[in-house]
Amino acid sequence: MEKSQVTIADIAKRLGISVSTVSRALRNHPDISKETKLKVAALAKEMDYYPNSIAQSLQKKSTKTVGVIVPEIKHDFFSSVISGIEEVASTQKYTTMVCQSNEDYEREVRNTRALMSNRVAGILISVSQNVQNTDHFKMVLKQGIPLVFFDRVYEDIGTSKVIVDDYNGAFRAVEHLIQSGFKRIAHLAGPEHLSISRDRLQGYLGALKHNNIPIDDDLIIFGGFNEKDGMAGFEKLLELNELPDAIFGVNDPVIVGAYLKIKEHGLRIPEDIGLVGFSNNPIVSYLDPPLTTIAQPGYEIGQTAMKILLEHINSTKEEFVPKEVILNTKLIVRGSTVKQ
């Protein structure tokens, strides 16, 4: 069976004091001595205790709630994933508690701790671009809470993952640019420490090598996943002696940022610069010209991740074997790469 979460009764037993004393010490009650409060706090930290903020009086290990942490909700991809998660969750009478890290590591840690405190049955997470270490993920597993990564994952955490074939998606995107007549292709890459960025970078490099196009490190600009990163990335490309004739972005928001700067500088798409994104956010089909992109199945990612999480929740620790599911992508060709 999975490890039980630590309770105030466990702390009281270790210290040889009453449960009520531990409870009041944790609430900083004035009747409890400073020495006792310090001892309780130190042991609570050592035992990885988190207060049950929703049902302290109930003898439950978890609720029928699953936690979901996403970098942001405003972009359609993560909204689609959440819809897929909730569709599967509702069929099994589970509810979802959705948190947004807003690409901030500290906020992601707070979200994770809050979900643990609320005794969620499991957690689904796509990590923020600014993750500094994986201690909070390790804490979730130490507490015996099932954890599934999706889209953005950490490879050194031994738990289930649902991703897309980022390498082949990027390879097809860049090969499409080459077949469309583009030769000097830049890549606005994501954070170097994330596997999603590395895999898409490797797909970009693989397509260049496959087509005997020399790799120019000056054409690879690392950044984040948002529009501002695309804008900043294109400004760096403007500093080169020779502009690229096409750009492949790590995702659609980054390419939208580049698109805005390209228009601002009076350049034409695709006559001067071709563009390819990754995600197929609905907004990119309304640009002028509309954006060629790699579609990834957000709804299916959410469904798959939730099904795996439920399987983990309903299994014993000994029975469940972590899974890695890789879903396919699709090239969507539009006007940003089709020269007239």
CA distance 138 to 157: 7
**Range 99-107 average pLDDT:** 94
In the chain the first and final C-alpha atoms are separated, in Å, by 63
CA distance 161 to 152: 9
What's the pLDDT score for residue 54? Answer: 44
Compute the mean pLDDT over every residue in the chain, rounded to the nearest whole number: 92
Determine if the peptide bond prior to 270 is cis (ω within 30°). yes
Q: What are phi and psi of 138, to 5 degrees?
A: -65, -35
Q: Of the candidates 134, 127, 298, which has an alpha carbon nearest to the alpha carbon of residue 224?
A: 127
What's the pLDDT score for residue 2? Answer: 46
CA distance 112 to 265: 43
What's the pLDDT score for residue 78? Answer: 95
What's the pLDDT score for residue 62? Answer: 59
- Token pair for 248: 């492949």
What's the pLDDT score for residue 47? Answer: 85
What's the pLDDT score for residue 23? Answer: 86
Q: Judge whether residue 300 has pLDDT over 70.
A: yes
What's the pLDDT score for residue 211? Answer: 97
Is the whole-model pTM more than 0.85?
no
- Token pair for 302: 């959410």
Burial 166-188 (b: 16+ CB within 10 A, else e): bbbbbbbbbbbbbebebeebbbb
Burial-class residue 159 by CB neighbours within 10 Å (0-12, 13-18, 19+): buried
CA distance 277 to 243: 18
Q: How far is CA 267 from CA 182, 246, 334, in A?
A: 16, 12, 18
Reported as a single tens digit per residue, the pLDDT across 46-100 is 888 876 544 443 444 557 999 999 999 888 899 999 999 999 999 999 999 999 9
Q: Of the candidates 260, 202, 255, which has an alpha carbon nearest to the alpha carbon of residue 225?
A: 255
Q: Judge whether residue 21 has pLDDT over 60.
A: yes
Reported as a single tens digit per residue, the pLDDT across 172-209 is 999 999 999 999 999 999 999 899 999 999 999 999 99
**Range 106-111 average pLDDT:** 95
Give the chain's domains with CATH numbers. Answer: 8-46 (no CATH), 65-162+298-326 (3.40.50.2300), 166-296+331-337 (3.40.50.2300)
Instruction: Count CB atoms within 10 A of the CB of residue 76.
Output: 16
- Structure confidence at residue 4 as a pLDDT band (50, 70, 90): low
129 contacts 191 by C-beta, under 8 angstroms: yes
What's the pLDDT score for residue 61? Answer: 55
Q: Of the candidates 57, 98, 59, which has an alpha carbon nearest to the alpha carbon of residue 78?
A: 98
Read off the amino acid at residue 39.
Answer: K
- Token pair for 172: 């097809």
3-class DSSP state for residue 168? helix
**Range 12-16 average pLDDT:** 91
317 contacts 141 by C-beta, under 8 angstroms: no
Q: What are phi and psi of 154, to 5 degrees?
A: -115, 120
- Token pair for 158: 């031994």
112 contacts 69 by C-beta, under 8 angstroms: yes
Reported as a single tens digit per residue, the pLDDT across 124-158 is 999 999 887 889 999 999 888 999 999 999 888 88
